[in-house]
A = this chain, B = another copy of it.
Amino acid sequence: PLRGKHDDRSLVFADLTREEYLQIQQYMVKQNDLNISTNRLTKPSDNFLFLIDLSLPKKADVLAYLDGKAAKPVREATVVVFYGAGGYIKEYVVWPLPNPTNRKDVTKERYKMDLPINARTVTVGEYALLFKLFKDEVFSNLKKLMKESFDVSESKTLNAFEQMPRGVRSGDRKTWVSFFRDVSGMYIHPVGFEVLVNHESVNESDWRVERLLYNGQYFENVKELREKYDSGSVKKIVYKELPNYASLKPEHKQLQIGPQLFYAEGKRYSVKNNHILYLDWSFAFGLSSLTGMRVFDVRFKGQRIAYELSVQEAMSVYGSVTPGMIITKFLDSSIGIGRFAHELVRGVDCPYEASYVDTYRYIDVPAPVRFRNSICIFEHNMGQPLRRHFSDFFHNSYGGMVNNALVFRTITAIGNYDYMWDFIFYQSGSVEAKVHATGYISSSYLVDGSLKHGHQVAEKVLGNIHTHFINFKVDLDVLGVKNVFQTKDMEYVNVSLPWMPDHYAMVPQLVEKQLKTEKEAALRYDTKSPRYLHIASREVNKWGHQRSYRLQVFSFTGDHLPESQADEKAMSWARYKVAITKHKDLEQTSSSLYSQNNIWTPAVDFSKYIEDNESIENEDLVAWVTTGFLHIPHSEDIPNTVTVGNGGGVLLRPHNYFNEDPSIHSADGVYIKPG
């Protein structure tokens, strides 16, 4: 029996439907002045419709609509076109859906700058040309080396894995591509061959190989490598057959299955459209192709607690002596985090009995794509009490309640890594955003000096040291949008004991502060910060304390890239454990699609959200939370990194928000009194 009712107003946050994508695509293609192609293999020199995604309505309009004070906001889409012919990128808003009749170029409004064409993500069309270049200009001219070193033949090739950023300054598009054995789990099979290709020009005829690395030695061009290889003046790699240690095939058959979850009396949650009900909770959900999973209008007992809770970015900085990883900084939302939310495997990725939802996306494709079962929802028995007390003093009794909670999950496999994203809804009124990393590490071929940057993890393979930084957007609205940011902590104070005043003792006191401005509330990753962080209302609970939600961050991050580095601005959100900004519709994300490939002049520099140092007192506040972990790969990362211990997250907990723990009203409570 469900407690609430589904609300179709959640559709204001719904991802675009297959039909909407098609309508928008047709609308854009019909704009003759734009001359846009939707072909899968559109060349960089042509104009390509790269992305169609929901354009979120303005928050004020949505709130008015949700609260019954205004009509439904017009449904709009964001369309991204790569204008290869013109040398720029444009972002449009297209409306109204489902039958668009208008478009508006919003590039300048959103980014305060023009977007140069080389800020674009590499498309399937560009990859095809790059692969052709490797085949025609590299592999064809190095047949002997390829055969002897890597056993490459007509029927056997190498796979490519590219590194980013593509150069060292704006305008650069010079990519080091590392080659790997053509086996499953190639990411941990580097062969020791890397190629620097300059593909700055949108005309592929201008592209050229600018440098090669073979077995730790650099060459100016293919010819030099071939000649030196043939003349024997190169330290050679001699091919050696190896078992595939990256294989995930189990050796043993399962003789006895492990514990399973079952819903003896049916599911206690319900999914309708993009709206979920679970006991006292309700929320809307979506999946952005770029930033990934997100929920909106999160309510507990009908009261909105968060307007938005969303993944923003997954970033990694690597270390290496070889070019393939020496300056590597991956900014996944520029490739698309949600884009890689593939089908979840029942019984492994989520419990067998979970509910699964399909999603549709349009990113670097000729037509919208359906991703079957790419979101899962389930209630899980966490295997522990949420609360309990046993008493055998004075009053013998037992009261407790098992921790059953709702999990909302996607897993995004972006190349080598798989990030598992969970939003968890607890009966105590807490919501948790969690991320765990699994999948394959990135690796490089072992050469002299490699071990300064990691550990060897397989034959001639270095697991490169790297950071994982994840950014979440947490737009709590605590009893409305006007909130303050409070901190609480402890401090020892020397006090005289009242019954023996000549005796002093250090006694813990509560230290509370209300931070006034964005700069004050930008808590840097390398500084000590107060232990309790709160988004609070001016309204008070029954006992006169400001009602608040606390942000408790779980994080094991490494050091953030020094700000001296030109590419740091594209990831400036990672300077802060938590940063509080005043909400703006135009500050929708902490990163952008254009950050990876124009990392030196990023379209979004999060630190600018703070630079104007606005007041954060009685404003609509957004918390940007950074979590993650330092990863020093080790042999147990082969074949895959395990989720246990490799994650982080943020728990949003009520703190003087309710007058008591709301789980006391749960029907899951158990009470025992000796008869």
Contact = CB atoms under 8 A, between A and B. Distances in A.
Nearest to A632: B488
Interface in A630-675: 630, 632, 634-645, 651, 653-672
B661 A386 contact: no
B490 A248 contact: no
Given A183-B395, A347-B670, A661 B644 contact: no
Interface stretch (A138-146, A469-477, A553-561, A591-599): A553-561
Interface residues of A, number: 174
A636 B654 contact: yes
A94 B403 CA distance: 44
Given A383-B380, A508-B558, A667 B254 contact: yes
Interface in A396-445: 397-404, 407, 409, 411, 413, 415, 418, 420, 422, 426, 428-430, 432, 436, 438-440
Given A327-B507, A389-B418, A639 B668 contact: no
A257 B452 CA distance: 55
A393 B415 contact: yes
How many copies altogether? 2
Contacts of A638: 659-661
> Which 6 pairs of residues, A with B, have the shortest CB-CB distance?
A248-B399, A250-B669, A319-B508, A258-B404, A456-B543, A184-B395
A671 B248 contact: yes
A384 interface: yes
Interface in A494-535: 495, 497-500, 503, 505-510, 531-532
A350 B403 CA distance: 10
Given A342-B390, A630-B489, A541 B635 contact: yes
A508 B465 contact: yes
Interface stretch (A35-43, A70-78, A224-232, A264-272): A264-272
A556 B420 CA distance: 24
Contacts of A342: 390, 392
Contacts of A467: 490, 508
B636 A655 contact: yes
A608 interface: no
Given A384-B409, A387-B439, 8 more contacts: A250-B665, A256-B266, A261-B261, A327-B497, A389-B440, A403-B643, A488-B632, A636-B660
A588 interface: no
A375 B362 CA distance: 53
A9 interface: no
Contacts of A439: 387-390
A399 B640 contact: yes
A197 B669 CA distance: 39
A369 to B, nearest CB: 11
B379 A326 contact: no
A260 interface: yes
Contacts of A654: 634, 636
A671 B454 CA distance: 29
A394 B670 contact: no
Contacts of A263: 259-260
A465 B489 CA distance: 10
25 contacts: A218-B499, A248-B664, A250-B668, A258-B402, A260-B263, A262-B262, A321-B498, A348-B388, A349-B388, A378-B383, A387-B439, A387-B640, A388-B438, A392-B413, A399-B639, A452-B509, A455-B543, A455-B545, A466-B508, A490-B630, A508-B558, A635-B658, A635-B660, A638-B659, A642-B663
A632 B532 contact: yes
Contacts of A438: 385, 387-389
A562 interface: yes
A492 interface: yes
Interface in A100-135: none
A5 interface: no
Contact of A260 (B381, B388, B455): B381
Contacts of A255: 1, 667
Most B C-beta atoms less than 10 A away, residue of A261, A458, A556:
A261
A559 to B, nearest CB: 6
A209 interface: no
A323 interface: yes
Contacts of A491: 559
A564 interface: yes
Contact of A497 (B326, B401, B651): B326
Most B C-beta atoms less than 10 A away, residue of A218, A257, A429:
A257
Given A319-B507, A490-B465, A558 B531 contact: yes
A250 B670 contact: yes
B672 A345 contact: yes
Contact of A264 (B260, B379, B398, B509): B260
Contacts of A510: 319, 451-455, 465, 632
Nearest to A255: B1
B168 A505 contact: yes
Nearest to A500: B168
Nearest to A454: B510
A44 interface: no
A280 to B, nearest CB: 12
A392 to B, nearest CB: 7
